[in-house]
Structure 1
Amino acid sequence: MSTTNGQTTNTALPVYTKKDFESGVDPRWCPGCGDYSIINQVQKTLPAVGVKRENIVFISGIGCSSRFPYYMNNYGMHTLHGRAPSFASGLKVSRPELQVWIITGDGDALAIGGNHFIHAMRRNLDLKMLMFNNRIYGLTKGQVSPTSELGKKTKSTPQGSPDYPFNPPALALGAGATFVARTIDVEGIHMGGVIKAAAEHKGSTFVEVFQNCPVFNDGAYTFLTEKAVKADALLRMEQGKPLLFGKDGKKGIRFNAQSAELEVVTIGENGVTEKDILVHDAKREDPTVAFMLANLSNRAGFPTPIGVFRDVRKPTGEELTWQIIDQTKAKKASSLEKLLAGADTWTIK
């Protein structure tokens, strides 16, 4: 891939395998950490994204997840706490031909890095953020994080947290992200599909990965992942398909026109048919329905959605920046003499 005035073009690509993206440094996370699953899926997916390895960059902040660049065999930066989006933004604007990934955690992205996070999403720079959400501070040994549940007892909140948690996909949607998704560390095939879709998107990309911390927050997502409950607990969003869930696939999400809210219904009860079920469309320009789906996980009696909430194409921040640069260059004088004698001169009396 090459670039001219901010425009990218494809050139012949080598045939990669997963091993080509392994650095040879053994990952060092705690046994059972969900990070192993995430890096495995990333390394499996990258050979198929159509980008040369030397044009792929991973940038991280601070936290357990931020060891990631050391274990990838491509360019990377391990930066400052919460500031990975700032480094990534500068790199993407100056080198638009690069595919830039941000690896972060719930504390790194949403606490000290919260302001950087929302502006990276707002500007719609073509940055691909993977946020590992274990609902705890892992590297600093078990303090409450911005995604910890209300009432969570930790080392920093021994009597229980009085703070309501962030809903990361809803926050990303509210900030203007053009691609928002969620997946789970134990759902390898699903995660691989979401990562592939994120790699193919052009614009601000946010993927929340529910990730277990076996040391400081073990079992944080068992209410979703246990075999006995996950059929009823998870709503798998697929483009163009009705939003169905449950062991027999008879439960679904319907839009109630009277209350202007989503509701759970069962096919075959009270005259409900599959035609009543909301068909998922992540390509809607208006993010209202995506926002409603993102908030289902906060409501009792509703399943937690996984998959792609939103995937729309808009001019990216770097495309608009280079457009301004090119327009400005075209207006400027072709020589220093013409520039000095141009319209922007003044006389001192």
Structure 2
Amino acid sequence: MLEVHLKPADYKSDVEPTWCSGCGDFGVVAALTRAYSELGLKPENIVSVSGIGCSSRLPLFVKNYSVHSLHGRAIPVAVGIKLARPDLTVIVETGDGDLFSIGAGHNPHAARRNIDITVICMDNQVYGLTKNQVSPTSREGLYGSLTPYGSIDRPVNPIATMLSYGATFVAQTYAGNLKHMTEVIKQAIQHKGFSFVNVISPCPTFNKVDTFQYYKGKVKDINEQGHDPSDYRKALELAFHDLDHYHDPNAPVPIGVFYKAELETYEDRMQSVKRRYKQVEDVQELIDMCKPKAL
């Protein structure tokens, strides 16, 4: 029996999105479902996991297994799913507040362990669902409902942060470029290891500074300019230019794959340990194997 190829629309649920008109997150759904279609993934083999926030409502709008979890807790839920069912494609769909504020403590450990999940952060530089508070990625001086004189916080740099944590795939894309988003998300899903994709996804309702108009003509694909994603030092260097446009309106905004490395995943290492100790029959031998090695 021939396998039927699913179109992007086949991955969308019947639930109508509740996002504001013009929200960048609509583009993320379009790119994600295109990526699923082009990769030939079966909906029953995909699990979407989210926390709380505008972006975290995305699992409601796709037709695959989904978990709408607690605020900031999407990554540990996704890790549990992946370790229990390593055969599944596990996608975390989250936002800058959910991921880099209340959920920030989970990022470094999932990244350094190289858990084979894909984390997509829809970064609009504001808290939208709770009506206009500044987020960890908001620019200095941004006005919000709790910062009437402008934010005095320095913003988090998502790319530099995830590179320093040890993520083996780190990329950035833009909600105004569907083709680029689709390609980057496809690469992230195909990558064996921890993948992080930061999507610049403007909020048309509350963030009146970092708009689609603001980013028009600013985004530049670093890979088209010759960047080699295997060069970790260069990736870090480029990452530290990621927020330059906050201080210089003429500075380019880099998008593309910053870093990619093929390293053993946590799941692979776990299976190696299981195989190793399964072969041990003598109790004393097991005890000896567990003893700390002399320095």
Report the Cα distance in structure 2 between the residues aligned to 1:47 and 1:283, rounded to whole angstroms.
Answer: 28
Match of 2:229 among 282, 292, 295: 282
Do 1:63 and 1:105's aligned partners in 2 also have CA atoms closer than 8 Å?
A: yes
- 1:147-226 equivalences in 2 (<5 Å): 147-222=137-212, 224-226=214-216
Q: Which residue of 1 aligns with 2:219?
A: 234
Residues 1:294 and 2:243 are matched in the alignment:
no
Residues 1:47 and 2:37 are matched in the alignment:
yes
Report the Cα distance in structure 2 between the residues aligned to 1:170 and 1:141, rounded to whole angstroms.
Answer: 28
Structure 1 position 223, deviation (Å): 6.3
Residues 1:59 and 2:49 are matched in the alignment:
yes
Greater Rg over alpha carbons, structure: 1
Do 1:57 and 1:99's aligned partners in 2 also have CA atoms closer than 8 Å?
A: yes
Q: Which residue of 2 aligns with 1:336?
A: none
Report the Cα distance in structure 1 between the residues aligned to 2:36 and 2:48, rounded to whole angstroms.
Answer: 12
- 1:137-148 equivalences in 2 (<5 Å): 137-148=127-138
Residues 1:32 and 2:22 are matched in the alignment:
yes
Do 2:235 and 2:258's aligned partners in 1 also have CA atoms closer than 8 Å?
A: yes
Classify 1:48/1:343 alpha carbon distance in 2 versus 1 (closer, same or farther; 3 Å).
Answer: closer
1:206-249 CA distance string (max 9 Å, x none):
000111111111341446533xxx1xx332122xx5x2xxxxxx
Tell me the secondary structure at the aligned position of residue 106 of structure 2: helix
Residues 1:322 and 2:271 are matched in the alignment:
yes
- The alignment covers a number of residue pairs equal to 282
1:24-70 CA distance string (max 9 Å, x none):
11112111111111101111110222433211110000001111111
Q: Stretches of 4+ moved more than 4 A in 1?
A: 341-344
Do 1:59 and 1:103's aligned partners in 2 also have CA atoms closer than 8 Å?
A: yes
Structure 1 position 81, deviation (Å): 0.6
Tell me the secondary structure at the aligned position of residue 28 of structure 1: coil
Report the Cα distance in structure 1 between the residues aligned to 2:83 and 2:212, rounded to whole angstroms.
Answer: 41
Do 2:6 and 2:40's aligned partners in 1 also have CA atoms closer than 8 Å?
A: no
Identity of aligned residues (%): 40
TM-score where L is the length of structure 1: 0.76
Q: Which residue of 1 aligns with 2:113?
A: 123
TM-score where L is the length of structure 2: 0.90
CA RMSD of aligned residues (A): 2.0
Report the Cα distance in structure 2 between the residues aligned to 1:122 and 1:141, rounded to whole angstroms.
Answer: 34
| Structure 1 gap segments, 5+ residues each | 1-11, 244-278, 334-338, 345-349
